[in-house]
Amino acid sequence: MKYLPIDNQLFIKNRTLFKAKISGNDIAIFNANDVMPTNADGTMPFRQNNDLFWLSGVDQEESVLVIFPNHPDENMREVLFLKETNEHIAIWEGAKLTKDDAFKTSGIKTVFWLDELETKLAEMISKCNSIYLNKNIHSRSASEVQTRDDRFRNMITDKFSNKAIMEVAPIMHELRAIKSDIEIALMQNACNITEKGLRRILPMIKAGVMEYEIEAELMHEFLRNRSNGFAYQPIIGSGADSCVLHYIDNNKACEDGAILLMDFGAEYANYASDLTRTVPVNGRFSERQKAVYNSVLHVMKEATKMLVPGTEFKNYNKEVGRTMELELIKLGLLDKHDVQKQDPKNPLFRKYFMHGTSHYLGLDVHDVGSMEWPMKDGMVFTCEPGIYIQQEGLGIRLENDILVTANGPNDLMKNIPIEADEIEDLMNA
């Protein structure tokens, strides 16, 4: 991995939190993600299962973590199964984790090689009441691909049909939604790398530069700072494409007088950052562009104030909507009389601001957690209002990452330029 070693106290504490959530005589099993194929003998870069990583810090394929809080043998209450290095693997892929490496990474003392999994697991399951298995139940998940967890579930269900199967995902969602100090530091580092990327590209943006050239400069800066790269597919959309919410082609030339919307973030130690900035291609906002920009910035600042413990999303979204309505009226995009008569279930501002203002952030860009929960100290959310005027080919979105604390919102991106004058100054330095 490119990132520096993480204090294994993070994972030891995480497992302690998890064990308090399940019955002592139940067992929980976590699988690494698959190494996904491309074509011929090619594979995609490996990305670890976030739950397994959160509990162990192990960032290696084909790993299995078993947690059994009340196993009669104290040494079998936390167990890792790992792929063993052989001569072929060492030559072609490089050595895998040793048992000592795994202990230093995770704090787990009992480590077996994968060839012992079947025997050891059968012995452990024979002593448990129920089996907790993992499954992707994220509200946005739409994948039809069968995962390693899915195949493992089929095997367990067939082989141990007398055992009740429990879902571990709701527990992990609850636990992962609250970030510890070590996690916050890792996320802050991801945000700091993202800041370096933005500062690198602002001076190079000008008429004629290609969107993919900007993407390339960001990747350069991320990699040289120990990031694996982008936390998600970056959006670098100029002109009319600034109004396309998920524009990822990034293949056009930036034109003089146009706006450029950039939504990107560095990943560090598997933790995501998520930034959006919108800038004038020629280095100076037009009067109209600046007016829309400042309206979005005002909504963002007002929304950020509400990211505090106890805030409920339904109230948060209503207040953000009211603030956005006032800005859209000011910009001449909505009529206040029409707003007064609008259908509350279909507010008029949705024509120009059609997406949510915030989502959870962590190991996933759209991290696990429920929008039905009130906000709590330790949660991290994006704040990303936008105004998209398709008839003008003008889309403005701004986004920072906000930590909810008892002392008020802590903007993890507070050092990243956002005021219109700051952006212009940096682009013309």
The tokens describing 356, both together, are: 């949510």
Q: What percent of the chain has pLDDT over 90?
A: 91
**C-alpha span between 247 and 262 (Å, rounded):** 10
> 35-39 contacts: CB < 8 A, separation 24 or more?
35/61
How confident is the model over 192-203, as a mean pLDDT?
A: 98
Residue 179 scores a pLDDT above 70: yes
The domain 9-176 is placed in CATH, from the list 3.40.350.10, 3.40.50.300, 3.20.20.10, 1.10.10.10, at: 3.40.350.10
Q: Would you say residue 224 has pLDDT above 80?
A: yes
What pLDDT does residue 142 have?
A: 65
pLDDT in tens, 32-83: 999 988 898 889 899 999 999 999 999 999 999 999 999 999 999 999 999 9
Rounded-to-integer distance, Cα 150 and Cα 98, Å: 28
Burial of 320 (0-12, 13-18, 19+ CB in 10 A): buried
Asked whether residue 96 carries a pLDDT value surpassing 70, the answer given is: yes
Residue 131: C-alpha distances to residues 13, 14, 15, 112, 162 (Å):
22, 19, 17, 20, 11
Rounded CA separation 294/300 (Å): 10
pLDDT given at position 394:
98
Average pLDDT, the chain: 96
Give domain limits for the chain: 9-176, 181-427
DSSP state letter for 348:
G
**Cβ-based burial of 310 (10 A; exposed 0-12, middle 13-18, buried ≥19):** exposed
Q: Read out DSSP for 228-278?
A: -EESS--EEEEGGGGG-TT-----SB--TT-EEEEEE-EEETTEE--EEEE
Res. 414: pLDDT tops 80:
yes
pLDDT grade for 139, boundaries at 50, 70 and 90:
low
Q: What is the pLDDT of residue 369?
A: 96
Inter-axis angle of helices 420-427 and 287-305, nearest 10: 130
Q: Binning pLDDT at 50, 70 and 90, where does residue 89 land?
A: confident
Closest by Cα among 331, 364, 361 to 348: 331
CATH architecture of 181-427: Alpha-Beta Complex (3.90)
Residue 87 has a pLDDT of 77
**What would the mean pLDDT of 199-204 be, rounded to a whole number?**
98
What does the pLDDT average to over 132-157? 84
pLDDT average, residue stretch 193-199: 98
402, pLDDT greater than 80: yes
Give the residue-averaged pLDDT of 296-308.
98
pLDDT at residue 95, as a whole number: 83
The whole-number average pLDDT for the span 342-347 is 93
Amino acid in position 362: G
Mean pLDDT in residue range 210-223: 98
* Cα 15–chain centre separation: 21
DSSP assignment of 349-418 equals GGGT--S-S--B-SSSSS-S--TTSPP-TT-EEEE--EEEEGGGTEEEE-BEEEE--TTS-EETTTTS--
Per-residue pLDDT at 141: 64
Joined tokens for residue 366: 């759209």
